[in-house]
Amino acid sequence: HGKVIAYASRQLKPYEVNYPTHDLEFAAVVFALKIWRHYLYGESCDIFTDHKSLKGGDYLRSGAKEESEIWTIVENLDKQVEFRIDEGNVLWQDT
């Protein structure tokens, strides 16, 4: 219903440092799905992204190791991936 109830973050793993942007974005979705999966099973889940490459389900099945591990979780979720460009999607800046 539009309200943030939690935030989560982590450092990049050494092997992720050279990942292209779309892989890093997918890794963030994977991380979120893994840590919140116990809340998501049996519920509808909307994933909002400003990266079109994450919208297509074919990308999720590309076969990378991390994607293979999470695909079972992703496949069983009632989810909708929505591409959205929003003025609010800006990087945090120290002013």
Give the span between the Cα atoms of 55 and 48, in whole angstroms.
Answer: 9
Cβ contacts of 10-13, under 8 Å, gap ≥ 24: none
**Rounded CA separation 22/10 (Å):** 17
Closest Cα partner for 43 from 66, 77, 90? 77
Domain ranges of the chain: 14-83
pLDDT digits (tens, 9 = 90+) for 10-37: 999 898 899 888 778 878 877 888 888 7
User: Tens digits of per-residue pLDDT, 46-83?
Assistant: 777 776 666 665 555 455 555 556 666 666 666 666 65
pTM above 0.75, yes or no: no
β-pair type (78-83, 44-49): parallel
DSSP 22-53: HHHHHHHHHHHHHHHHHHHTTSEEEEEES-GG
Query: 81 phi and psi, to 5 degrees?
Result: -95, 125
Q: Using pLDDT thresholds of 50, 70 and 90, give the confidence band for residue 40.
A: confident
